[in-house]
Amino acid sequence: MYLDDYKLREFLQGKKEEIGHSKKDEIFTFISAAGFALTLWESSLPYKDILLLFGAGLTFWSISRIVKAFYHPYNGETMYKEIKSMDQIKHKFSLIAIKDTFREHPTRFLVYWDKRWKCFLLLNFRTPEEEAEKTLTRLISDHLQLPEGDVSLTRKDFRVTEKFSVSDQVDKKYEHTLYLASIETFPDVFRSDRFTVNGVDFRWMTIKEMKEDPEIMKKNKDVVETLEEKAA
């Protein structure tokens, strides 16, 4: 996640009264407040009526805290979700590197023609919120029409980068997770230099070929460099 430090400190400062208060804490506070009020009731202190009002107010306040603790508890999971919602990175993608391991010396990666970016890209999906690898495995098998059991993933890299989005014409922060996908059995069609699956055009490219493609380097240089460093 990418968070603004000032906003995070401000958020934590605002939550300091709610952190660390359990149901037991609130019940203990109620007992203490009620005991204080009862003691005042039986006492003969000066200004007893004013003190009783204070004690009653404290008791009712503690009751409201108990109700909140039971019906609207604030715990670690609640805080995690709130902090997560402050994440400034809205473009989280998992990049899938697939090598031509059906050859004796695998040197090429599977890329597809992206009509929006108008260049060849690694297969990619928005990073799932939960069970990422399981979900990604299913997505890969669906997109490539492969049995789900034939696909396995190894996480190779995670990084945050800021670059110009050619499609949207603005700078964006991207969170990229790179996976190396192993395919147990490649269908015959995958063994061609170029092929089409589900109406999508695929081809195999070496890192050298990617670097020699001006459009790829203009729009996706950071990914090519990561791929060369972590998966080549």
pLDDT for 5: 47
Residues 122 and 220 in one domain: yes
Same-domain check for residues 133 and 80: no
Q: Show which of 60, 84, 108 is a domain's final residue.
A: 84
What does DSSP say about strands 170-183 and 151-165: parallel, antiparallel, or unpaired?
antiparallel
- Whether the pTM exceeds 0.75: the reply is no
Co-location of 139 and 75 in the same domain: no
Residue 90: what pLDDT?
59
Pair 134, 177 in one domain: yes
- Indicate if 134 and 41 belong to the same structural domain: no
Whether residues 178 and 101 fall in one domain: yes
Residues 203 and 178 both lie in one domain? yes
Q: pLDDT at position 161, please?
A: 81
Range of the domain at 111: 91-230
On whether both 109 and 19 belong to a single domain, the answer is no
Structure tokens at 186: 């490649």
pLDDT at site 137: 97
Could you state, in chain order, the average pLDDT of each consecutive group of 10 residues for the chain (232 residues)? 48 53 55 59 59 62 63 55 54 94 96 94 93 96 95 94 69 86 96 96 98 94 95 88
Final residue before a domain boundary, out of 30, 64, 84: 84
Last residue of a domain, one of 84, 101, 124: 84
- For residues 226 and 138, state if they share a domain: yes
Helix (H) / strand (E) element for 201: namely strand 200-206
Q: How many domains does the chain have?
A: 2
Residues whose CB falls within 8 Å of the CB of residue 184, separated by 6 or more in sequence, listed in order: 149, 150, 151, 152
Residue 144's pLDDT is: 97
Tell me: do 177 and 209 sit in the same domain: yes
- Do residues 139 and 53 both lie within one domain? no
Annotate 56-71 with DSSP letters as a single string: HHHHHHHHHHHHHHHH
- Whether residue 139 is found in the same domain as residue 51: no
